[in-house]
Structure 1
Amino acid sequence: MHPELLVRALAAMEGQTTHEKFHMDSGIASRSIANEVIGFMRDMGIGTSSGRALAFSGRDRLQAAVIALQSRCDVEQVSEHLSWKDFECLASEVLSSLGYSTRTNVRFTKPRMEIDVVGVDAGFCLAVDCKHWKRGNLSAIAQFCEKQAARAEEIVRRDRKISAAVPAILTLHAERVRFVAGIPVIPVMQFRSFAMDVKGFLGEMRVVRQGPAPRQRRQK
C-alpha cells in the first residue's frame, strides 16, 4: 500500500461513514483504489464494516497513522489528522489490556492540574501525558517533562494506594524512547512494549515514591 494513500485515508476515517463518503473525503481519485485501501485496512484490523457502512475509532486512526509512519510518511502530514484524544484512547486501551486499572482526564484543584491517562497496577502507577507534537526542541520538551513529574508527585501525594509512579510523555513525533531528566518520552508505536517492560527498568527512570504517612496529632 502506497503510504500517501494511508495519509489520505486518515482524512476520511470518521466515526461513522460509508464507502461512498470515504471515497469523497479521502480525495482518492479512483473509487476502486479507495475500495482497495478500505480492504487493506480491514485486513490490518483497522475499522469495521457492514455492507456499505464503515466505522472507525480513534485507535483505528492511530494504527493507520503508525503504519503510515513506518512506511516513511511525513510526520507532520500524518499528525494533522490526529488529536490528543486519539493518543489518550490508545494509552488507556493498552494499559487496560496489560491489567492496569485506568482513568482518563484525572483533575486536581489546588494546585490545578490534569493527567491525561493514569494506569495503576498493584500500587504502581504510570502517569501519561499525551502530546500532539509535530516538532519539539529539547528545552520545551524538558519543561513538559518537569510539569508531568509534578503531576505524578501530586497523584502519589493524594492517593495512598499508589506506592510509586512513573511520569511519562506519549508522542507521535519521537522515533525511539528517549529520557529527558529521567522521564521517558515515548513514540506511540512503542508504547505497548514500553508499558510491558517498564517495571524492569525503574532504575533508569525518575520514579516518584510514596513517603511515610503523616502522623496523626494526639488529641489533648
Structure 2
Amino acid sequence: METEQRVKEAIYRYLAGDKSYEDLLKTLPEIQGDLSRVRLAMEYISRGGDPERISDLLSWRDFEEFVSKAMELNGMDVARGIRAPPPRGFEIDVLGVDTISRIALMVDCKHWGRVRGISSVSVSMIERAKRALSRCDLIARILESFREARELYLAIVTLRETSIRSYGNVFIVPIYRFRDFLQNIKLYSEELGIEPLPNPCFLRYSLDSYLSK
C-alpha cells in the first residue's frame, strides 16, 4: 500500500512539473517508459487515485494529442481543431477517417474529473455534427479522405469511467477503453443501438467516382 501511494504521488508531482520523479516513473513496468501526460493520468487512476485531483493537471490539448495518436495508430487519417465560422458554424476537436471501413469518427475530449452535463454536451455535439455535415465540403478540404467515409459516428472521451455508455447517438467512452473502442466501433454500435449520421459528401464522392469511369 505504501508503494502504491508513493507511485501515485510521484505521478501527481511529475504532472505538476516536478521532473525529479522522471527516472522513478520510467522504471515502472506498467508504463514502459511512456511518460505522456494522459498515459500517466490513466496509471494514477488505475492505482486508486482521484480522477478529479489529477484532471486539474491535464489540458484539453493533452487529451486531443492522446486521442489523435490512438486514432492514427489504428490506421485512421486524423485532423484536429477543425473550425468553421457562422452561419452554420461548428468546431470539431478530433476527426478521424478509416478509409477501409469507410467510417468517420468525430471526438469531443472532456477531461472532467467528474462527468457532469453529459446529456447537454451530447445534444450539443449532435447539433454541431449536423452543421458540420451540412458543410462537409469544407471538412473535406481539410481532411480529404472524409469524402470516402460513408457514415459519421460521434464519441465523447472522458477521463474516468461512467455509468453512462451512450446518450442519444453519442458514445461515452472512458479514455482507458478508447483503443478497444476504435477496434470495435461496429460492435459497440450494435450493442448500444447507436446509428451513425450519413455523410452527404460520400454520396457525391461515389457519384463522381462512377462518372469518371
Q: TM-score range by the shorter chain?
A: 0.7 to 0.9
Aligned-residue CA RMSD (Å): 2.6
- Match of residue 115 from structure 2: 136
Deviation of 1:136 after TM superposition, in Å, equals 3.0
Map 1:103-182; keep pairs closer than 5 Å: 103-110=79-86, 111-122=88-99, 123-137=102-116, 140-159=117-136, 161=147, 162-175=149-162, 178-182=165-169
Counterpart residue type for residue 208 of structure 1: L
| Residue in structure 2 matched with residue 209 of structure 1 by the alignment | 198
Structure 2: gaps spanning 5 or more residues: 138-146, 205-213
One-letter code of the match for 1:143?
S
Is 1:198 the counterpart of 2:185 in the alignment? yes
The 3 A distance-change label for structure 1 pair 35 and 202 is closer
The 8 Å contact of residues 107 and 155 in structure 2, kept in 1 or not, is answered as: yes
Name stretches of at least 5 consecutive residues in structure 1 with no aligned partner.
Answer: 27-33, 48-55, 214-220
CA contact (8 A) 2:97 2:104 kept: yes
Letter in 2 for 1:22: K
Query: Scaled by the length of structure 2, what TM-score is found?
Result: 0.75
Q: 1:7 to 1:194 in 2, by over 3 A?
A: farther
Specify the code of the residue in structure 2 equivalent to 1:11: R
Residue type of the partner of 1:129? Answer: D
Choose from 8, 16, 24 the match for 1:6.
Answer: 8
Q: How many angstroms apart in 1 are the aligned matches of 2:134 and 2:152? A: 10
- Count of paired positions: 185
1:174-217 per-position Cα deviation (integer Å, ceiling 9, x unaligned):
3466111231111000000011100234342141113566xxxx
Q: Which has the higher helix share?
A: 2
Aligned-partner Cα distance in 2 for 1:135–1:201: 23
Q: In the TM superposition, what is the alpha-carbon distance from 1:170 to its structure 2 partner?
A: 0.6
Amino acid at match of 1:141: I
SS in 2 for 1:104: strand
Structure showing greater radius of gyration is 1
Does the 8 Å CA contact 2:156/2:172 hold for their aligned counterparts?
yes
Q: TM-score, normalised by structure 1?
A: 0.73
Report % sequence identity: 23
8 Å CA contact 2:90–2:132 kept in 1: the answer is no
| C-alpha separation in 1, matches of 2:6 and 2:129 | 39
Distance change >3 Å, CA 7–CA 125, structure 1 → 2:
farther
Please give the residue correspondences for 1:4-153 in structure 2 after superposition, counting only pairs within 5 Å.
4-13=6-15, 22-23=19-20, 35-40=23-28, 44-47=31-34, 56=35, 60-110=36-86, 111-122=88-99, 123-137=102-116, 140-153=117-130
